[in-house]
Amino acid sequence: MKIIKLNAIDSTNSFLKEMATNTSAENFTIVVAESQTNGRGQQDCVWLSEPFKNLTFSVYLSFRKFQIKHKKNLLFAVSLAVYEAIKEETELSISIKWPNDILSGNKKICGILIENSIQKDKIKHAVVGIGLNVNQTEFSKITSNVSSLKLLTRQNYDLDVLLKTIVSKLKIRIDQLACKEFEKLEEDYLKVLYKKNTPTMFKDRKGVLFMGLISGISKEGLLQIELEDETIKEFGIKEVSFV
């Protein structure tokens, strides 16, 4: 495991992707930024983080024969690793919001971005970006649905300790991925999925409100919601939101 620490960078994911393109990156190479000026979330959303107070890093994962049809299991593995690390270090009551945000109650404390490099029908490697709000206590009024470990527990946390715990959990879950323990990964993910089997109000991309409950994840990694007429409808990222 190789750890590269940077004082400031626009995006650890962009840095690591470029590094992997230009050099032979070692599996589990980690790039950590004390200050990230242009962090990215799902579908080009911006991840804002106060310098020196949070954990913003990316991990390079290489694969030998990981078929793209199983890519949702990589999402499960990464999300569970971060979830388990936070639970171990804080004992907070948390959940995973599909696809891979970590929530405490309805407050987001961690965002994850997975960018895959595809070769034919296989994922050659992935760059996993993780942004965890740790010791930051003030956030923009625009982002009222976010929180941090310190706000929730009133404790300061050692960023290096948190990083080591996350990477340790990630190695365990990636080993499960390599051993094709897909059913176990999905089972564990669904156990801690936010609003699973709970009647909830949703809004689709057209602004239409509807009641439903999250029932599972499709083979393609889409969110499955059971509607009031007991039919199952599937949604991709940004196609549905909680009200």
Domains (range + CATH), the chain: 3-191 (3.30.930.10), 200-242 (2.30.30.100)
CA dist., res. 58 & res. 41, Å (int): 12
**10 Å Cβ neighbour count for 36?**
26
What are the start-end ranges of the H helices in the chain?
12-22, 71-90, 149-153, 159-178, 182-191
CA dist., res. 83 & res. 96, Å (int): 7
CA dist., res. 216 & res. 59, Å (int): 27
pLDDT tens track, the chain, 243 positions: 899 999 989 899 999 999 988 888 899 999 999 988 765 554 455 556 788 999 999 999 999 999 999 999 999 999 999 999 999 999 999 999 999 999 999 999 999 999 999 999 999 999 999 999 999 999 887 677 999 999 999 999 999 999 999 999 999 999 999 999 999 999 999 999 999 999 999 999 999 999 999 999 999 999 999 999 999 999 999 999 999
Residues 6+ apart with CB under 8 A from 174: 61, 77, 81
CA dist., res. 24 & res. 74, Å (int): 22
**pLDDT tens profile 183-231:** 999 999 999 999 999 999 999 999 999 999 999 999 999 999 999 999 9
CA dist., res. 196 & res. 217, Å (int): 11
**pLDDT tens profile 48-61:** 678 899 999 999 99
Amino acid (one-letter) located at 68: I
